[in-house]
């Protein structure tokens, strides 16, 4: 956390330039991968899965929003390992996210 967006961007830039590994700490159950793709809209997105159960973090992607028939639409994709996450949890996440976005 920084006091201004400018300070955050400056620190994030230096950190990214000096980062040598994707994950700098132990990969535990509370690690998630988020990818913002604000330049494109999509109907499907998929990530390479090497089948390593030690690297089965949930992956969340969202893309460029657009207005369609008076509603704002934003692509959102979730990729999880079914051995760790049941589809009911993804449904609950989608419902909660939709309720939040409806309020903004």
Answer with the residue of higher pLDDT: 94 or 48.
Answer: 94
What's the mean pLDDT in 54-78?
88
Contacts of 97 (CB under 8 A, 6+ apart): 76
Please report whether residue 11 resides in a domain. no
Answer with the residue of higher pLDDT: 52 or 65.
Answer: 65
pLDDT tens by residue, 28-64: 666 778 888 999 999 988 877 666 666 677 889 999 9
Please report whether residue 98 resides in a domain. yes
Pair type for strands 76-79 and 71-73: unpaired
What's the mean pLDDT in 56-81?
89
Please report whether residue 3 resides in a domain. no
CA distance 100 to 78: 17
Total tally of structural domains belonging to the chain = 1
Please report whether residue 64 resides in a domain. yes
Please report whether residue 36 resides in a domain. yes
Rg (CA), the chain: 17
What's the mean pLDDT in 62-77?
91
Range of the domain at 77: 27-103
Which residues are marked as active site?
82
The whole-model pTM stands at: 0.64
Please report whether residue 91 resides in a domain. yes
Please report whether residue 6 resides in a domain. no
């Amino acid at each position: 956390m920084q006091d201004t967006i400018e300070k955050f961007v400056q620190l994030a830039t230096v950190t990214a330039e000096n980062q040598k590994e994707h994950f700098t700490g132990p990969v535990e159950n509370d690690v998630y991968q988020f990818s913002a793709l604000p330049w494109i809209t999509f109907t499907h997105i998929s990530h390479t899965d090497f089948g390593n159960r030690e690297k089965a973090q949930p992956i969340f992607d969202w893309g460029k929003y657009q207005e369609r028939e008076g509603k704002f639409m934003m692509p959102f994709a979730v990729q999880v390992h079914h051995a760790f996450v049941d589809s009911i949890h993804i449904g609950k996440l989608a419902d909660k996210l939709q309720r939040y976005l409806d309020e903004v």
